[in-house]
Each structure stands twice: as C-alpha cells, then as structure tokens.
Amino acid sequence: MPHDYFRFPRLSPPSARGIFRNFLATFLLLALCLSTAFELTSPAQKASKFERKVLVTVKPHYPDLLREAKIGGLVRLRAWILPNGTVSNVEVLGGNPILAESAVAAVKQWKFVPGPTQTTDDISLNFNPHGD
C-alpha cells in the first residue's frame, strides 16, 4: 500500500497500573513544586526570633500637617537586626503610609544589644495627635 505512512500505529488501551503510575508521578511532582514554592527564604537567610534589648531609640518625626489634622494611629514594623546591633532592614506591616515612612526612618537609626546572629523584631509605634 502506498499510503501506509499516513496510518497511526495501533495503541493498546492503558492499563490500570500505567494510569496509577502516571497519577503518582504527577502527584509527587506537584507536591515537590508546591513545597519549594512556599519556602520563601533559605535556611541560611532565616533570622532567629528572640527579643533583643534596645539601647538607642530615635523618636519618629510626626508631620505637622497630620498632627494638626488629628491623624494618628499605630504603625507596625518588622526590623532585621544584624549581630552588631544595627538595623539592616525595616518592613512596614501596617499603618498610615506617611506615618510609616517616618517610623521606618527612625527605627533604622535604632541600636540594639549585640547578639550572636541576625534577628527580627516586630515593633509598634503609636502616633497620638493629642499627646506629645
């Protein structure tokens, strides 16, 4: 027959064992991908979590415009503290964005007691337009 090259080869129906193997391989691959996707930092980058004493604090600047408008509130931050006690990074967790900017600038100047490793500390600063 001159047209045999157009024919598809006959395939036998898949066995239950083959279907199970394919399902298992797909499931394991998916589980591996998901487990690595949710690992945000490598173990070498993780900061240990224990409270470190603050040696030097800097009071954040309270913008006059917000104070006069009676806008205040709580700003929540997470600070990464190096072994020598200086703050390397500050992340805003919540609060007014303008007040948070002032709070970040202040916390970056804080000094902590030196420690053996890098640590993180959650910090809350309250901006009260009625107080000092």
- Taking only the tens place, the pLDDT of each residue in 94-121 is 999 999 999 999 999 999 999 999 999 9
Q: Which pLDDT does position 26 carry in this prediction?
A: 59
Give the global pTM.
Answer: 0.62
> Which of 60, 67, 119, 125 has its CA nearest to residue 88?
119
Asked, for residue 75, whether it belongs to a domain, the answer is yes
How many domains is the chain built from?
Answer: 1
CATH number of the domain residue 72 falls in = 3.30.2420.10
The three-state secondary structure class of 64 is helix
Question: Which residue type occupies 123?
Answer: I
Residue 39 token pair = 């690992």
Check pLDDT > 90 for residue 7.
no
Residue 118, CB half-sphere, CA atoms under 13 Å: how many?
Answer: 11
> Which of 57, 100, 107, 98 has its CA nearest to residue 75?
100
> Which of 40, 96, 116, 120 has its CA nearest to residue 107?
120
What is the domain range of residue 119?
54-127
Asked, for residue 61, whether it belongs to a domain, the answer is yes
Which one has a higher pLDDT value, 50 or 68? 68
11-48, pLDDT tens digit by residue?
666 666 666 666 555 544 444 444 444 333 333 344 44
Using alpha carbons, list the distances in angstroms from residue 39 to 32, 42, 45: 11, 7, 11
